[in-house]
Chains A and B, each alone.
Chain A
Amino acid sequence: MSATRIVLGLVVLLAIAAGLTLVFQQPAPAVEVAVFTSSTQCAACHAQVHAEWTSSQHAQAWTNPAVRALSNDFANTDCIDCHAPRPVFETGLTNRVLPRESRRAEGVDCIACHQLPSGGVAGTIDRPDVACRPVATRDLARVEFCAPCHDQHKTVEQWRSTSYAQQGIGCVDCHMPFRNGDPNQGRDHVMHGGHSIELVRSAVTLTAAREAARIVARVENVRAGHHFPTDERSRAADVFWRPVTGSNGNAGPWRWLYRFRSPYRHEVELVDTLLPAHQMKEVVIDDPEAAGRCEVALFYKRSPYWTDPAHPDPDKEADLLHRVVVEP
């Protein structure tokens, strides 16, 4: 074999190798980025996420009958900013969101959280080869991402002074946990919060015990990463008690004892009584009628007023979080 042949052979081999390298190393062709005008478009590829979001309060931010009634069908346009926001990334983390004109019926939707101003969407991985062109964006999981709307009532500010903030446990860790605890399954987009009684119940404990001639009830914020309750000022938690008389356990009407709530601005006679994270509130029942068997209960309400304020009926108008019985 002549030297020329060897050289030629090597050149051919190199050319083939280079060609193969080019073919296999070439990035997948980028597809044209889709233009999203509705979150329903996302359902085609993300059916589970879309289904979860559909059942969330975010999806109902515009259509929820209570919101519509309280905002006078959004004639109070102040409400639109957070109930139909333009994309968070458009104005940036921690900055206020601006209201949008279109697809308002979708409320706080996929586009509001994921749309990037430069095109494409914020996601957990980079995929330039699919229509929505996700870009791995860690900002999605930061508390500052939720702050534009949810710090309007200082929820994020409350979180900053908790041990959770020091441990790096943020909003998504409790409100968007990994499905089945598995990071590979992605985060739950139902985004449980103040409308999920189970979650609210897990945030606090109620204990009650006789101490001398009185009953001392203690409510402790054990798991909320912010005050209890938080966010909307309409939310309230009330401690009630009542004597249980007779062997058949008959109990009379509940007697109101204490309320946790941040008042509306016009309620100048009320003070803020929200329970900060890790803190406990003691409430004393010092009543001769409390000498016998008693029930103490913590109820939660998403609208602050009772039909009959003089005789509130929490069984009908609030959700029971915890109930304890104190024996004589």
Chain B
Amino acid sequence: MKRAVAASLALALVVACHEEAAPVQPAARFELRAVVQPALAAAEARAPRTAPASAEPSPDTREAAEAVLGALESPDARLRGLALEDAHALGDAGVPVFAAVLADTAATPARRTGAAQALGKIATSSAVDALATCLEKEREPWLRAQCAWQLGEAGRDEIVPRLVLRLKYETDSATVVWLADALARHQNLSGLDGLRVVSSSREDPARGEAADRLATIAADRGFEDGERLYAAWWNDDPALKQPEPSDALRREGWFLVERLSEPDLRKVDDARFVLARLDRWIVELLAETLHDEGVYARVHAAQVLERRGPRARAAGSVLLAALADPRLAPGAASALGAIGDASAASALEEILVRSRDVELRVASTRALGNLRAPSSTAVLRAALDAREPIDLRQAAAGALVAAGQGDEVAPFLLECLTATAADAGAAEQALGHWIQARAQLDDASRDRHARWVELEPVPNSVPTAEDVARRRSTRAEIARAAIAARPK
């Protein structure tokens, strides 16, 4: 009997000792509730949508609108000014007439321009809707540019999301310039990207105008140049004043958040694009959305916060708490890394050490690479262990490169260029960062970096598999030489 008891105890002890480390448990339950639908309903109640003006205009209105259009073609500036006052007086009643002229491809450019000006002056919801519709559908770039300008003049901030979305699809660089200008007049600086691209182009005919606009927008905000303003905007410099949104714009914000749950990927992509570029007020809405019971809403909200980078810093504490939600945790970890919340490092390290969820561990490791906290080096080194999944090891190697420890992981990254199941593209990028970091060391390192950069694919080209294989093979040689040159 005694033997049996002893054997049972021993067995229990062995079992207990073999039990694996418990997975990380959420410190507290992350509350999920209905967020988006009630918030959208409340926002719509505060600022109801007005239907586009569609009533058939009376003969008097039509006559008055025609008089406005005629006067707007006059060379007399005083007469044109009076015509715009008349347009304003017509208000919504005149919108169907002007909208029809704006959309009429048979009308003369001067007449269509006049219609755009009249709508800009009326500046009601219906009027700006007509201008925005033209901006989205018109084939003539000059008229799209005109509409963009008028939407900046109209002063209704609820149009900002549509202006931002147009940045994604606009192909005419002059229109991009006036979109950026219009957005800047609404205090939204997401058009700076486009201005920087166009102004730095060698051949674009709009480059001069883009450079002028960039300089003016920067000077208006007390910045020396566009680059400094861009850095301040990207880093959410508190000195950069951003206005409170109108109720109508908040409604549009919730509408976009609701679209994050759409089944159609394109609509989600568009919503992510716009939400990532609205001003800082949107962060509060996105942080609330992390609690929504719909998995798409909260995962996509986390993605938007990640894309906003430092401009989503205000969501740091909610994201940290969201690590307790298994469905949201990988996205929350990625967002914490992107926004640069250093206080999240210890929580992410803990996940890397203790969690059994590979998705979450990989996301946390990449996030630690963004945070570059010195305390993370030890756990990142441990994650290089050959028994760990290859993705995790690669993510850890990339994070160590970012932390300035690339010398020790370069040989492993070189292996990943060809290893089965490794992400060769990610390995190539990480090796590129390491080669770049070493470029300041000596002439040979600088030369290796120059050769590496020379192999960059031509922008907008589509390389073949053979092209990629050749490039990686040559880069592997460069990396081998750099590894051999490391200090012993």
**Residues B358 and A37 in contact, CB atoms below 8 Å apart:** yes
Bound CA–CA A100/B330 (angstroms): 9
**Residues A68 and B425 in contact, CB atoms below 8 Å apart:** yes
| Shortest beta-carbon distance from B227 to chain A in Å | 21
Q: Is A95 an interface residue (CB 8 A)?
A: yes
**Residues B468 and A104 in contact, CB atoms below 8 Å apart:** no
Residues of B within 8 A of A86 (CB): 359
What is the chain B residue whose CB lies nearest that of A105? B423
Bound CA–CA A86/B360 (angstroms): 13
Residues of B within 8 A of A81 (CB): 265
| Shortest beta-carbon distance from A149 to chain B in Å | 8
Residues of B within 8 A of A265 (CB): 169, 266
Given contacts A62-B423, A96-B263, A102-B359, contact A269 B139 (CB under 8 A): yes
- Give the contact stretch, choosing among B91-99, B178-186, B399-407, B456-464: B456-464
Q: Is B475 an interface residue (CB 8 A)?
A: no
Q: Which of A245-303 contact B (CB under 8 A)?
A: 265-266, 268-269, 303
Residues of A within 8 A of B468 (CB): 65, 68
Q: Interface readout for B385-404 with A: 1 if CB under 8 Å, 0 if not?
A: 00001111000000000000
Bound CA–CA A62/B429 (angstroms): 15
Bound CA–CA A109/B366 (angstroms): 22
Q: Which of A58-88 contact B (CB under 8 A)?
A: 62-66, 68-70, 73-74, 77-78, 81-82, 86
Q: Is A146 an interface residue (CB 8 A)?
A: no
Q: Which of B421-458 contact A (CB under 8 A)?
A: 421-426, 429, 457
Given contacts A40-B420, A94-B263, A102-B362, contact A77 B307 (CB under 8 A): yes
Summed over the interface, the residue pairs from A and B with CB atoms below 8 Å come to a total of 89
Residues of A within 8 A of B237 (CB): none
**Residues A101 and B363 in contact, CB atoms below 8 Å apart:** yes
| Shortest beta-carbon distance from A121 to chain B in Å | 17
Given contacts A102-B359, A269-B139, contact A152 B264 (CB under 8 A): yes
**Residues A105 and B424 in contact, CB atoms below 8 Å apart:** yes
Residues of A within 8 A of B272 (CB): 78
Residues of A within 8 A of B429 (CB): 73
**Residues A268 and B137 in contact, CB atoms below 8 Å apart:** yes
**Residues B421 and A103 in contact, CB atoms below 8 Å apart:** yes
| Shortest beta-carbon distance from A263 to chain B in Å | 12
What is the chain B residue whose CB lies nearest that of A60? B465
Q: Is B303 an interface residue (CB 8 A)?
A: yes
**Residues B425 and A73 in contact, CB atoms below 8 Å apart:** yes
| Shortest beta-carbon distance from B384 to chain A in Å | 16
Q: Is A106 an interface residue (CB 8 A)?
A: yes
Q: Interface readout for B133-177 with A: 1 if CB under 8 Å, 0 if not?
A: 000011100000000000000000000000000000111000000
What is the chain A residue whose CB lies nearest that of B394? A105
Bound CA–CA A105/B137 (angstroms): 39
Given contacts A38-B390, A266-B171, contact A69 B462 (CB under 8 A): yes
**Residues B424 and A102 in contact, CB atoms below 8 Å apart:** no
**Residues B462 and A103 in contact, CB atoms below 8 Å apart:** no
Q: Is B299 an interface residue (CB 8 A)?
A: yes
Q: Is B296 an interface residue (CB 8 A)?
A: yes
Bound CA–CA A152/B262 (angstroms): 11
Bound CA–CA A129/B90 (angstroms): 79
**Residues B464 and A65 in contact, CB atoms below 8 Å apart:** yes
Residues of B within 8 A of A95 (CB): 263
Given contacts A69-B462, A266-B169, contact A37 B389 (CB under 8 A): yes
The listed residue (B169, B389, B425) touching A63 by CB distance below 8 A is B425
Chain A binding surface, main DSSP class: loop
Q: Is A98 an interface residue (CB 8 A)?
A: yes
Bound CA–CA A36/B184 (angstroms): 50
What is the chain A residue whose CB lies nearest that of B303? A77
Given contacts A40-B421, A65-B468, A96-B263, contact A102 B137 (CB under 8 A): no
| Shortest beta-carbon distance from A43 to chain B in Å | 10
Residues of B within 8 A of A64 (CB): 465
**Residues B422 and A101 in contact, CB atoms below 8 Å apart:** no
Given contacts A65-B463, A101-B359, A104-B423, contact A78 B269 (CB under 8 A): yes
**Residues A101 and B268 in contact, CB atoms below 8 Å apart:** no
Residues of A within 8 A of B307 (CB): 77
Residues of B within 8 A of A266 (CB): 169-171
Q: Is A91 an interface residue (CB 8 A)?
A: yes
| Shortest beta-carbon distance from A230 to chain B in Å | 16
What is the chain B residue whose CB lies nearest that of A68? B425
Q: Is B224 an interface residue (CB 8 A)?
A: no
Residues of B within 8 A of A68 (CB): 425, 468
Given contacts A96-B268, A98-B299, A102-B358, contact A65 B169 (CB under 8 A): no
What is the chain A residue whose CB lies nearest that of B263? A96
The listed residue (B269, B392, B425) touching A102 by CB distance below 8 A is B392
Residues of A within 8 A of B215 (CB): none
**Residues B359 and A100 in contact, CB atoms below 8 Å apart:** yes
| Shortest beta-carbon distance from A318 to chain B in Å | 15
Bound CA–CA A282/B457 (angstroms): 42
| Shortest beta-carbon distance from A114 to chain B in Å | 17
Residues of B within 8 A of A65 (CB): 462-465, 467-468
| Shortest beta-carbon distance from B23 to chain A in Å | 12
Residues of A within 8 A of B171 (CB): 266
Bound CA–CA A144/B78 (angstroms): 64
Q: Is B289 an interface residue (CB 8 A)?
A: no
What is the chain A residue whose CB lies nearest that of B460? A69
Residues of A within 8 A of B188 (CB): none
What is the chain B residue whose CB lies nearest that of A76? B269
What is the chain B residue whose CB lies nearest that of A99? B303
| Shortest beta-carbon distance from A269 to chain B in Å | 5
**Residues B265 and A101 in contact, CB atoms below 8 Å apart:** no
The listed residue (A70, A91, A101, A269) touching B362 by CB distance below 8 A is A101
Residues of A within 8 A of B362 (CB): 101-102
| Shortest beta-carbon distance from A71 to chain B in Å | 10
Residues of B within 8 A of A78 (CB): 265, 269, 272
**Residues A38 and B389 in contact, CB atoms below 8 Å apart:** yes
Residues of A within 8 A of B422 (CB): 105
Residues of B within 8 A of A63 (CB): 424-425
- Pick 14 A–B contacts, CB within 8 A, sort by A: A37-B389, A62-B425, A65-B464, A69-B457, A69-B462, A73-B429, A77-B303, A98-B296, A98-B299, A100-B359, A101-B362, A101-B366, A102-B362, A266-B171
Knowing that A65-B467, A68-B468 touch, tell me 12 more A-B residue pairs with CB under 8 angstroms.
A65-B464, A74-B425, A77-B303, A77-B307, A78-B269, A91-B295, A96-B268, A98-B299, A102-B389, A102-B392, A265-B266, A303-B462
Interchain residue pairs A-B with the least CB separation, the first 9 = A105-B423, A102-B391, A266-B169, A101-B363, A101-B362, A102-B362, A78-B269, A152-B265, A65-B468
